[in-house]
Structure 1
Amino acid sequence: MISRRELLKDASFLLAAAGAAQPVLSWAATQYDVPTIPGKDGMILRSFRFLDVEMPMEFLNSWITPVPHFFVRNHMHEPSTVDAAEWRLSVTGEVEKPFTLSLADLGKVESHTVINTLECAGNGRAFQHPSVPGIQWQRGAVGTARFSGPRLRDLLQRAGVKTAGKHVMFRGLDEVPGKVPPFIRSIPIQKAMDTDTLVATQMNGAPLEKHHGFPARALVPGWIGAASCKWLTEIKILDKEFDGNFMKPGYRFPNQPVAPGGSVNPDDAHPVTGLNVKSVIASPADDSKAKRGVVPIRGAAWAGEADIAKVDVSTDAGATWSPARLAADHAKYAWRLWSYSWEAAKSGEYTILSRAADTQGRSQPETAAWNPSGYLYNAIDQVKIHVEA
């Protein structure tokens, strides 16, 4: 029999819903003593060791994702405590005038707001075949929020970046266990200087919560979530890409197609940066039932630094396609919600597909490019439903 300890270590869990006001979710399981994560009721717990929490598709019902429904991805332990009064952010490296800011100092710098869809690079990894190691995210390691804070560019200009400065490194306050390498990432100076790249201190109009990087995090819009370092404490300008585990071999994508199950030399791979074009079906749920008549189909689509041009839906496993309606809410870097009303005239088993295309000419493929880390999965989404008379 599997012990609770083993379950907590190896399985995915559903976070306990607190209070009678919580909805009964279609996937809810009550047979386990599930740990409660404050502020994340009803979410799916993918890992308890470093706290990785996924949003169920039933919560994808608004353009802006409420913070309690926003996924959490940690590579290390979260800081046990963060004292806002003692916290400092240093800007060093290839600069003329290094400096350090308190949270109060940072609050005096002009703030900018960016609505951004943040997605873990491994979102969808569970659908890769053959399977690959890592957190087995399905569809919900993604969310859209309003992030606010100073432009990173303003801090770099204050420091005076030298001509040798080519990359900007982020170090957070993650608590590193044992001999695990620290989670440190860098981005090219060009992206760091973009007017929408932030040192974010607010999320959806409120100070960042601890799970999302309080008191400050990097926000690198349109790129994978790993670029947006949480609990930011050091910004260092380097003369080249940071040389560390989470830049190489981690978070790299093969330069050439890889046969499923094959291996890749990190030297023949490049850093994962921008997000792919992708859509997901939020409703109806996979393996659900519906009555004959109008069946509402809805979901979301995003494309990183590009805009969504269209979403098509098929209700006959891809034999025919029809355009979905894109919702009015729209912003650079943010997903578009979409919907389609399907007239299910006959009972039976159906496969519903969604396929997005973007303004760069990219379209969701039938099969995602396989890679040993399961990054950037974006195959045409599908759910199977049974229509009853």
Structure 2
Amino acid sequence: MQSFLSQSPSLGHSEAPHAFVDSSFEDSSISSVKPEDIYDNRSSSLATSVSFEPPQVHHKTEFPQPFLPPSECQPERVCPPLPSFFPPVPINGTPTSVAPADIKTPDGWIKRNPDLVRLTGKHPFNTEAPLTPLFDAGFLTPAHLHVVRNHGAVPMVDKTRLRNWKIRVHGLVNHECEFSLQDLKDKFQVVTLPVTIVCAGNRRKEQNMIRQSLGFSWGAAGVSTALWTGVYLSDILDYVKPIPRKAKYVIFEGADDLPNGPYGTSQKISLASRRDQGMLIAWAMNGLPLEPDHGFPVRVVIPGQIGGRMVKWLTRIEISDQESQHYVFSEPSLVQIFNMAGIDNKVLPMQLSPEQARSEEKWWYDPNAIVKPEHGSMLDIPSEAHTQFFTCRGYAYSGGGRRITRVEISLDGGNTWELADIEYPEDMYRQYCHEDPIYGTLDLTERDTCFCWCFWRYEIPHWRLADASSIAVRAMDEGLSIQPRDMYLNATSMMNNWWFRVSISKSQYADGGFQVRFEHPTLPAARAGGWMERMKAAGMDILNPSFGDSGSSMLAKKTPTRAAEVSMKNPKVSRQITVEEVKGQTRRNPGFSLSKADEVLGLPIGQHVFIRLRKKGTGEMIQRAYTPISKEDSSGVIDVLVKVYFPNVGYPDGGKMTMAMQELFVGDEVEMKGPFGSFEWKGRGKASWKGKERTVKEVGMVNYADLSSAGENDGRSRDKAWIVYGNKTEEDILLRDELDEMCKMHGEERIRVYYTVSNPKKGWAFGTGRISREMLKEHLPVASCDRMVLACGPEGMISEVVRGGLAGLGWDIEESVVVF
């Protein structure tokens, strides 16, 4: 998990983890597609269903035309547009000429962005973008800024080689076969997913400042996000039918020509065969053909894992009982050794030195994870800067599909932390399902995993910057993994994700103002600069950095003087209420703060909101409708009334939503959407239902007690409310005190409440048992065109008692009975 800090006074980017045998397989002609169809499929792009059960009908799709990298053909091409409710497609800056650094290399034919930061000299091509342009590009990264990790020369794929390109799928399968790109498109559902790709060596330069590792010096921009179009790997596996109990791994191999054979990795088949893992065989990036550096014509994309697992220029998929045995030797000056047994770019134990790692091969069989974080700008702070703010922004991400749940900022070396605002553009793809002839199906509506980076921002008053000597940022994901304070040194310098810190140096003007300079830890590759280099040259301990006078070494700190404790207890009260007593109460009245304190709720009476939250522990996303009890004109907060259904014999897990709410703490966030509902009470005898205005003099309520519609306090309304309210016990009656108070205030001529409980106590003065037709007849008004009944409850009660009972009493169910 990573968070990264980027500073600028204004917002710059765009807001911004048994197959069956199908006899029809033998009748399918996999190699019957004409090679030229790859280049012009406008007249023959009919998609057929994969031989699954039942067959799926897919929308017609086509390859982006011409199907060649934009840098080789029509560099002015723009990404195909998407609806405005999605994040904007990136703006391309496709190179039009070969960069001078590439001219005399094996890649002298590739047109590349000359502004990319080269990390391994001229060849092989391993680059990251300058951090600010990468961040300012927004959620989706254009190809010319996307991170690149190559181990050797890029395979040259001309039109002839493209026409004959096949992906061989073989090994422990019932049906070995070869697929052309046209086969993939025609036989399987074409989909597009947003995926963040990151190198496991991201931010390695910081560890190399401590000691030189086996890897080259990545900066903070070894991460990028794009829309990847292709087909699910799981669909291909379902097609070829891996042999049960024998097939354990899926091995990928590319077409790159390396000294010790092609690059290859593997995945467990238990993961690769799951659609929700989002593993793709992809041929397009942001709606355009892949660039050579990104795997043209086809590559593997594996969300939530490091980029080293994603084989480019894919030619072979093998189903095996063991992990990949591919080896890669790259970076001639370092002779890195990577065992590609399913895990690329290992994190080695802290005590292991680079020299041991080179000589003791056993260490290269340990598993790994992911990492990530830029430098120097100025800010003038005038002497009178009490109302001015500075916007800190950055990005954060985690691995394995886990969502970033909080990003925290510290201005005092980590003594105290404050929450930043998080924006998840990936969520915009969860709202709508979109079909497109190029992108295919773009649909995350049923997927809760997060495979992309998010953005965060935090407003810092100028006067606090003038007092601070550093800014630190850390992130936490939904698995409660949090970025550590200290660096984890290892031989490969993988997964460097300690707090990202920015040093603040200040100079004061004659008028009392300040000029503030921000300094990041390092600059990528061999570029000089950063506070780590400066502190190291001064002989300081950069593993325990101390920033200025107000900085902290994080080892010894002056303990602040604590104020005398103020007792909030009444000394005359000795009884203690236990946690169990509080938890045993079924009534909850949670309040949720809106985004702004002065934001008016504006929720019409009788309408509801959807509340969505992720259950702690399982990560399951749950959504339910609730009718708030806040007034329509209340501002800054929305209150709901929740009855908690605790686990019992009949329902061992209790109520799914209410138990999830029970786990919320102050400061947790939920999602809300609304208003929804076809009924609106406008007051003083006026209501709207199903788009029609109604005059209503009396309202009957069954298990529905909206106080605002039950009785108004302006003294001029003469509306009447008749309420029949059923519960299991007297203690279960929600809002009883409020209802009784309203009855006293307005009298029985305006409000009548009849309670009934299934398990009454001795002396209970109201009804006993469940709500019945007889209760409705006795305690609701007689049917009339100027009367309505509002009802809420379990389906059995609604269908049998309410609808059936009221119909027998002469009520027009379709026109006068509203069920919530």
TM-score range, shorter chain: 0.7 to 0.9
Larger radius of gyration: 2
1:3-82 matches, cutoff 5 A: 38-47=111-120, 48-59=122-133, 60-61=135-136, 62-82=138-158
Change (3 A) 1:297 1:150: same
Change (3 A) 1:369 1:309: same
Note the C-alpha offset of 1:252: 2.6
Partner of 1:24: none
Partner of 1:234: 316
Partner of 1:145: 226
Note the C-alpha offset of 1:226: 0.8
Unaligned ranges ≥5, structure 1:
1-32
Unaligned ranges ≥5, structure 2:
1-99, 104-109, 329-337, 382-387, 428-449, 507-513, 516-820
1:85-164 matches, cutoff 5 A: 85-108=163-186, 109-128=188-207, 129-163=210-244, 164=246
The one-character-per-residue Cα deviations of 1:154-205 (angstroms, maximum 9, x if unpaired) are: 11111110121111111111122xx344311111112211211110111112
- Establish whether residue 337 from structure 1 lines up as the match of residue 411 from structure 2: no
The one-character-per-residue Cα deviations of 1:197-241 (angstroms, maximum 9, x if unpaired) are: 110111112221111111111111100101110010101111111
Look up the SS of the partner of 2:485 in the other structure.
Answer: coil
The one-character-per-residue Cα deviations of 1:89-144 (angstroms, maximum 9, x if unpaired) are: 11011111110011211221211222111111111111112221322101111111
Change (3 A) 1:97 1:261: closer
Partner of 1:258: 351
CA contact (8 A) 2:352 2:491 kept: no
Q: Give the structure with the larger strand fraction.
A: 1
Task: Work out the CA distance in 2 between the residues paired with 1:183 and 1:55.
Answer: 24
How many pairs does the alignment contain? 349
Look up the SS of the partner of 1:95 in the other structure.
Answer: coil
Task: Work out the CA distance in 1 between the residues paired with 2:505 and 2:377.
Answer: 6
Letter in 2 for 1:289: M
1:292-371 matches, cutoff 5 A: 292=381, 293-305=388-400, 306-331=402-427, 332-345=450-463, 347=466, 350-371=469-490
Note the C-alpha offset of 1:328: 4.1
- Establish whether residue 185 from structure 1 lines up as the match of residue 185 from structure 2: no
Note the C-alpha offset of 1:245: 2.1
Letter in 2 for 1:121: A
Note the C-alpha offset of 1:151: 0.5
Report the TM-score, using the length of structure 2 for normalisation.
0.40
CA contact (8 A) 2:299 2:312 kept: yes
Look up the SS of the partner of 2:235 in the other structure.
Answer: helix
- Among all aligned residue pairs of Structure 1 and Structure 2, give the percentage whose two residues are the same amino acid: 28
Task: Work out the CA distance in 1 between the residues paired with 2:150 and 2:206.
Answer: 21
CA contact (8 A) 1:324 1:340 kept: yes
Partner of 1:290: 379
Task: Work out the CA distance in 2 between the residues paired with 1:117 and 1:228.
Answer: 12
Change (3 A) 1:260 1:301: farther
- What's the RMSD between the two structures over aligned residues? 2.4
Q: Give the structure with the larger helix fraction.
A: 2
Letter in 1 for 2:195: N
Task: Work out the CA distance in 2 between the residues paired with 1:143 and 1:370.
Answer: 25
Change (3 A) 1:304 1:241: same
Letter in 2 for 1:286: H
The one-character-per-residue Cα deviations of 1:326-379 (angstroms, maximum 9, x if unpaired) are: 114135111111111111216477322110100011000122322211111111
Between the two structures, name the one with larger relative contact order (CA 8 Å, sep ≥ 6). Answer: 1
Letter in 2 for 1:302: Y
The one-character-per-residue Cα deviations of 1:20-58 (angstroms, maximum 9, x if unpaired) are: xxxxxxxxxxxxx75587342422111221101112210
The one-character-per-residue Cα deviations of 1:270-320 (angstroms, maximum 9, x if unpaired) are: 5545435x6x3xxxx533321225222111000012110111112333233
CA contact (8 A) 1:259 1:370 kept: no
The one-character-per-residue Cα deviations of 1:66-92 (angstroms, maximum 9, x if unpaired) are: 221111100121102343212111101
Runs of 4+ in 1 over 6 A off after TM superposition: none
Letter in 1 for 2:454: R
Note the C-alpha offset of 1:257: 4.3
CA contact (8 A) 1:153 1:192 kept: yes
Q: For structure 1, which segment, 115-124 or 239-248, has the greater mean C-alpha deviation from structure 2 after superposition?
A: 239-248
CA contact (8 A) 2:283 2:297 kept: yes
CA contact (8 A) 1:166 1:237 kept: yes
CA contact (8 A) 1:252 1:266 kept: no
Task: Work out the CA distance in 2 between the residues paired with 1:271 and 1:172.
Answer: 23
Q: Which of 374, 377, 380 does residue 493 from structure 2 map onto? A: 374
Change (3 A) 1:334 1:261: same
Change (3 A) 1:260 1:229: same
CA contact (8 A) 1:313 1:355 kept: yes
